[in-house]
Chains A and B, each alone.
Chain A
Amino acid sequence: MTKNLTRRGVLKSGAVAGAGLAVPTIFTASSAAAYTNEPTGSSVTLGFNVPQTGPYAEEGLDELRAQELAVEHLNGMGDGGMMNTFSSKALKGNGILGKKVEFVTGDTQTKSDAARASAKSMIEKDGAVMINGGSSSGVAIAVQGLCQDAGVIFMAGLTHSNDTTGKDKKANGFRHFFNGYMSGAALAPVLSSAYGSDRNAYHLTADYTWGWTQQESIAAATEAMGWNTVNNVLTPLASTDFSSYITPVLNSGADVLVLNHYGGNMVNSLTNAIQFGLRDKVVNGKNFEIVVPLYSELMAAGAGKNVEGVIGSMNWNWQLTDEGTKAFVKSFGEKYGRPPSNSAHTCYVQTILYADACERAGTFNPCGVGEALEGFEFDGMGNGPTLYRAEDHQCFKDVLVMKGKENPSNEYDTLQILEVTPRAQVEYAPDHPMFAGGELGACNSGA
């Protein structure tokens, strides 16, 4: 090692270091566009960020199918699906604001970090002006925060945590899907009439924002009906085997098991519970029951015979008979040969709602689009009359209570609609304690 500090050497290295430090200061010029990724050409790019790997991959792939279908309909191809039954007639089937709709996809891997990385690359590299999709509340909240900072609209996909439009709500984020509180409000009366009002419930809960808030909601709603919550055990999201969590249930004196699990987690935990013979047990003189507060067709298909008689709730189901549902199921079925799941429905609707809001606002500017969505009342999208509430960007609509079919006729016919809970019963004030603590803030257009 040589250590000869010469005057010349010091000067040279000083100059190099100075130049290095000066470099970033010339990059302060802000871009000329009025807002992030303002579409200037003949097309507009939407970003579809869904889990393609991990415990929620099945849901993600179905979301992607629905999003592709929505893009087709927006561009005037296919039969138009729900655009024909939608109460707003702003969309003309010539793209959005006359620009052809293109899309890019990303894999969230059901991980906040990966989801943000893929959303970032869609915004920074591909110029996406809106991010749609996702199948986990943890991811949805993380991506929602990113979109707020980046100045693009986030149309949340399947996210059921109270926090998404509660303490983590953001001005640029919008949620069509229902939430844990609504599930609790819809399920509790049905559960108490089906299983009686003096039950002891044991909760197994996925250990993240969705699990926590859903568990809180269900426990509160059932306790109000007279149930007792015996225990709540948190399970890691990455678990695949739940047998070690099931054994203690048997000795706890509980007679109802509430599985606050979703996707692959729920398939595995329900299967484990059935294998342990929980449903054949009689505890406290009552038949042991299992409840899955958040259902989906894909999970029901994955769990097969095990879902028979199990009660849960859903945002939407393809068996509904309104015009919007029929139109959507028809065009989805013709393209993919299967009925859409409720996550597919919500992503499809979100894409159409976004396009419609742009059309009505006359711009892609997130602030204009947000304004058009806030307080927007619409119908014909499969859920009956729906309101996008301005205070928290949450949609309010009817909730379905579902039950696993006893004798399914085919792999898609696994659930039956037990009750359609009217919107009035699941509404709550924006400052409800379960949703308090956050603020929307101001919309960010990235300018």
Chain B
Amino acid sequence: MLGLEKKDFNLLMVVVALSLFAPLILNIFPKESAFAFFNGGYPDLMQRFAIFGIFAIGFNILFGLTGYLSFGHAAFLGVGSYAAVWMFKLLGYNVLPGLILSVVVAGLLSVVIGFVSLRRSGIYFSILTLAFAQMMYSIAYSDLFGRWLGITLTNGETGLQVYNNDPQILMGPDSSTVPHIFGLEMSSRLTLPVGPWEFVFPVGYYFCAIFLVISFYLSIRIFRSPFGLMLRAVKSNNQRMTYTGLNPRPYTLAAFIISGMYAGLAGGLLASMDPLAGAERMYWTESGAVVIMTVLGGVGTLIGPVLGAGTIKYMENIISKMNEKLLHEWFSFLPESLEKAMVWSASWFTGEGWHMTQGVVFMLVIIFLPGGLVQGSNKLFGRRKRKSTDDAATKQPAE
């Protein structure tokens, strides 16, 4: 169905179901219960799940299929955000022009960066993309181009935002003053109290989720297409491919541009949910984060990047909020000396120490589950590691 094999279609349906019911799944604990802290079902976080899911899916098309490890994908995300915010400033708060422009601009930038970087492979490619991304970051951070032109282009550290006196030529007197799609505001939501539970269904999240499902579907089609096969050929043995008379460059460049456009879309969505673009989202740590998401979930698998993005964003937003006061409450049933010791050791891994938790989880996954969380769930459900086509991560190059 939809041009997919049954197995892939089922996977797509899983993603659709997860996206549709995320507000229920992520608010599993009743509102007043002790575990309510672990609920991740508030609009901002759910939107991040979907947006970074898209980002990671796009990254996986490049890294998972061709094996080219880009360390500069955050640049496309950032450029997408800036493009979208500029559309808000110039045209108005309808998100559609912004999203289109963010994909186009990110695509154009990836043509330039990809054309230069793809002349090299392996570590040199990674370093080149990293250098380009850091360059873009510095340019955005100090608003270099804006200064040359004598205007505000990125607004530096403060971040680009929309002001009341911006042109916004498409806005009427009673138009919405927050991002919307034809009048449907991204920030509006439906709150549904069911007994002790409280479920929030935000418009912005479902808007992102639709893009997530479309992105996921496109990614399956690319994985299963002859084009995807060529990309895998690049990964398994680039040299042999060249000897057979095929030029791998157009294929890798196309993959690079596609994943750049995915990142641009993610950036545009990020700005649509929150109309501000800061330079930090182009910093190299953000590029590193998407690599971690993809590897954590499972490189080269279809659903892995989405799982990885969700895991990382959950840790970033929930574990980082556990402060000492909360820890004291949780461990208050212990005798005092033991409680202090527990709080002391736990505080290393919570609050601002959440990076530590991320590091530990990442290490454990890499050591014990090199195929990522997807391999973990396969093991858990007793499925043998199949030689299926979506298990490209475990495929050995034919040397």
Contact = CB atoms under 8 A, between A and B. Distances in A.
B144 to A, nearest CB: 11
Given A27-B189, A236-B141, A117 B317 contact: yes
B42 A209 contact: no
Contacts of B165: 437-439
Interface stretch (A119-127, A302-310, A328-336, A398-406): A119-127
A180 to B, nearest CB: 14
Which range holds the interface residue count of chain A?
Answer: 35 or more
Contacts of B48: 117
Contacts of B210: 20-21
Nearest to B313: A117
Contacts of B164: 438-439, 441
A89 interface: no
A409 interface: no
B98 interface: no
Contacts, number: 133
Interface stretch (A141-149, A221-229, A350-358, A372-380): A141-149
Interface string A31-54: 100000000000000000000110
Interface string B1-41: 11101000000000010001000000000000000000100
Contacts of A427: none
A132 interface: no
Contact of A142 (B42, B163, B187, B278): B278
A2 B142 contact: no
A431 interface: no
Interface in A1-47: 1-3, 9, 12-13, 20-21, 23-31
Nearest to A164: B158
Contacts of B161: 141-142, 145, 168
A27 B3 contact: no
Interface string B173-211: 000001000001001111100000000111100110010
A237 interface: yes
B336 interface: no
Given A23-B206, A116-B274, A149-B178, A142 B159 contact: yes
B121 interface: no
Contact of B321 (A106, A124, A146): A106
Nearest to A105: B323
Contact of A112 (B157, B184, B207): B157
Contact of A27 (B138, B190, B317): B190
B42 A2 contact: no
A438 B184 contact: no
A100 interface: no
28 contacts: A3-B3, A9-B1, A12-B1, A24-B206, A26-B190, A27-B188, A27-B201, A28-B203, A31-B191, A105-B323, A107-B352, A111-B278, A111-B280, A113-B280, A114-B280, A138-B157, A138-B158, A141-B158, A142-B276, A145-B276, A146-B274, A149-B178, A149-B275, A168-B163, A207-B142, A208-B158, A234-B142, A439-B164
Interface of A: 1-3, 9, 12-13, 20-21, 23-31, 52-53, 104-107, 111-114, 116-118, 120-121, 124-125, 137-138, 141-142, 145-146, 149-150, 163, 167-168, 207-209, 234, 236-237, 437-439, 441
